[in-house]
Structure 1
Amino acid sequence: MSAAGRLADPAEVRAHLLAAAAAGESITYSELLNQLGHAFSRPKMRALCKVLGAVDRDGAERGEPELAVLVVRQSDGMPGQGWWVDGGASSHNYAGPWEGPLARRLIDNLQRQAFDYWRHRS
């Protein structure tokens, strides 16, 4: 499959996220794009974010914890703006700041759920 195809393929993106979850690790946008055959760019990151939403919607239908929360900024290890405004935070009834201890606690909890769930299923 071409690099463009891997970026647009939810199953391909999901496979990389499942590997990260099973390893108990977050993954940066840049790392994930690189694994999919792309250099980091804002347009590629936006395209990836759309696919991350599809991955989480499909997983939610199966009762799985979300995976998009594992994709983080290199600078601070937190999800980017898209996660916060496109339903990630609101789906957990969180309306607080995107940075700081409250945000960190939410992200740590959600990531731990994914790590615990997938560590036993890989």
Structure 2
Amino acid sequence: MNIGDAADVRAHLVAAAAAGHPLTYSELLERLGHHFSRPRMRALCKTLAVVDEEAAERGEPELAVLVVRQSDGLPGQGWWIGGGGKPHGYTGPWEGPQAARFIRKLQQVTFDHWAMAESSPNG
């Protein structure tokens, strides 16, 4: 599958959101049929930006926040630089307990949205 296919990447993220769990970069790449490598991760990050732009246009919560590092469960530097917490009023650190609390809250918004969407008759 193509890492650059925003619709395919979105489908995997919506499924993860509806199930209420984030995915590591490696897990998402594996679901797309690829092994982890830095170049593939960078390509995936570009696609994640497109997925979030399209979600915003539809009035949906962001999905890229669900893609996290295996080491600490937080999004990578690209997410933070690409906007990250600023649209949500967060200007704290990108790592550590404060960042983890912020990310969990943001992820919960996405989980709640997709859990409700999946359970609705039109979902």
State TM-score, norm by structure 1.
Answer: 0.93
SS in 1 for 2:101: helix
AA partner of residue 72 (structure 1): V
Structure 2 equivalent of residue 30 of structure 1 = 26
Which of the residues 80, 85, 90 maps onto 1:89? 85
Matched residue, 1:112: 108
Aligned letter for 1:68?
A
Q: State the shift of 1:93 in Å.
A: 2.4
Q: 1:13 aligns with which of 9, 19, 27?
A: 9
Identity percentage of aligned residues: 65
Equivalent-residue separation in structure 2 for 1:97 and 1:120 (angstroms)? 31
Number of aligned residues: 118
Map of 2:67 onto structure 1: 71
Alignment counterpart, residue 46 of structure 1, candidates 38, 42, 48: 42
CA–CA distance in 2 between the matches of 1:120 and 1:97?
31
Letter of the aligned partner of 1:70 in structure 2?
Answer: L
Q: Counterparts of 1:68 and 1:86 in 2: how far apart (Å)? A: 11
- Cα displacement (A) at 1:90: 1.8
Cα distance in 2, alignment partners of residues 50 and 33 from structure 1: 13
Return the alpha-carbon distance in structure 2 between the equivalents of residues 92 and 121 of structure 1: 22
Aligned residues: CA RMSD: 0.9
Matches within 5 A, 1:93-104: 93-104=89-100
Q: Name segments (4+ residues, structure 1) moved above 3 Å.
A: none
Deviations 1:21-68 (A, max 9, x none): 000000000000010011000000000000000000110111111000
Looking at structure 2, the residues matched to 97 and 29 of structure 1 have their Cα atoms a distance apart, in angstroms, of: 21
Report the 3-state secondary structure (helix = DSSP H, G, I; strand = E; otherwise coil) of the residue aligned with 1:66: coil
What stretches of structure 1 of length at least 5 have no aligned partner? none
Gaps of 5+ in 2: 119-123
